[in-house]
Amino acid sequence: MSDDWSARQYLKFEDERTRPPRDLLAQVPLQSPRRVVDLGCGPGNSTELLIERYPQAEVIGLDSSPDMLRQARERLPGRPFVAGDIATWNPDERTDLLFANAVFQWVPDHPTVLRRLLERLPQGGVLAVQMPDNTTEPALALMRETASAGPWAAPLAKAAAARDDLPTTGAYYDLLRPLCTRLDIWHTVYNHVMAGPQGIVEWFKGSALRPFLSPLDDEMRSGFVADFMARIARAYPARFDGKVLLRFPRLFILAVR
Ligand SMILES: C[S@@+](CC[C@H](N)C(=O)[O-])C[C@H]1O[C@@H](n2cnc3c(N)ncnc32)[C@H](O)[C@@H]1O
């Protein structure tokens, strides 16, 4: 399995995954930004929202994954999508909106990067960020538990550390507020209806499971998935209609320079 992101797997739950960027964009106070950059644009689902909202703006998607960029270019032909790493990338002076849905949780030392990017925005510019705040949810705890309890424990020793808990809201406030005229931080907890435990496993194969599955060969990977699935089935009981609810807390940050 390649370490690249799979656009196809990610988009299996496109409606659910596109709801947080809709909710985030609804709070962006800009009327007519000149340049908008979708950081970690993925397959272009969040970029499409930005183009709909700001048809006059120059909207650019940036991502580090070739598969995601290919998918985004197919989805939105003629639009600029560029390869880049958020850890080192900088906006140019015409950039009025940096939009980052579901990406900063993967960027090492992301608070420092958020601060640097915010510093580079012009007066009135906006940094809008959403990250899953779910590392203590059962599904993620069970990923780590599965990783440490099987024949795959050695190759996965580093995977469990791939995502830290997010800093507290207070820490983000202290870090970013000195650079802002307005800072709004909030949480939303979604409850996604999944067809069954299999749905939860499929959901995370497109995101948080990637660091656990990519180091394994086919046989180990099947064993890992079966073990994880059994744990998920115990932790997420079926509702009256056989469906399961995937509780999903997310953190939103809206910073106006
Ligand atoms: C979960 S997807 C989010 C896709 C889309 N923004 C959305 O709203 O659904 C995360 C994306 O961030 C990209 N990514 C992760 N780390 C990155 C980095 N350091 N620089 C640029 N892109 C990165 C991944 O390739 C992936 O496409």
CA 137 to ligand 1 center in whole angstroms: 21
Please determine, for residue 5, whether its predicted confidence score (pLDDT) is greater than 80. Answer: no
Spatial separation of the C-alpha atoms in residues 221 and 173, rounded to whole Å: 40
Give 118's pLDDT tier (boundaries 50, 70, 90): very high
> Which of 86, 103, 204 has the most ligand 1 atoms within 8 A of CB, as the residue to mutate?
103
* Å from CA of 39 to ligand 1 middle: 7
Q: Quick check: 98 and 218 in contact, CB under 8 A?
A: no
- Model-level pTM? 0.92
Q: Give me the chain's average pLDDT, please.
A: 94
Nearest CA among 71, 82, 83, 65 for reference residue 2: 65
- What is the percent of the chain with per-residue pLDDT over 70, rounded to a whole number? 96
Q: What is the DSSP letter of 28?
A: -
- Is residue 136 within 8 Å of residue 247, measured between CB atoms? no
Which of 4-8, 15-19, 98-102 comes out lowest in average pLDDT? 4-8
Residue 1 banded pLDDT, cuts 50, 70, 90: very low
Alpha-carbon dihedral 196, 199, 200, 204, rounded to 10 degrees:
170
User: Is pLDDT above 70 for 107?
Assistant: yes
CA–centroid distance, residue 187 to ligand 1 (Å):
20
**pLDDT at 14 (0 to 100):** 84
Q: Which residues line ligand 1 (CB under 6 A)?
A: 5, 17, 21, 40-42, 45-46, 63-65, 68, 85-87, 101-103, 106-107, 207
Q: Determine the pLDDT at residue 114.
A: 98
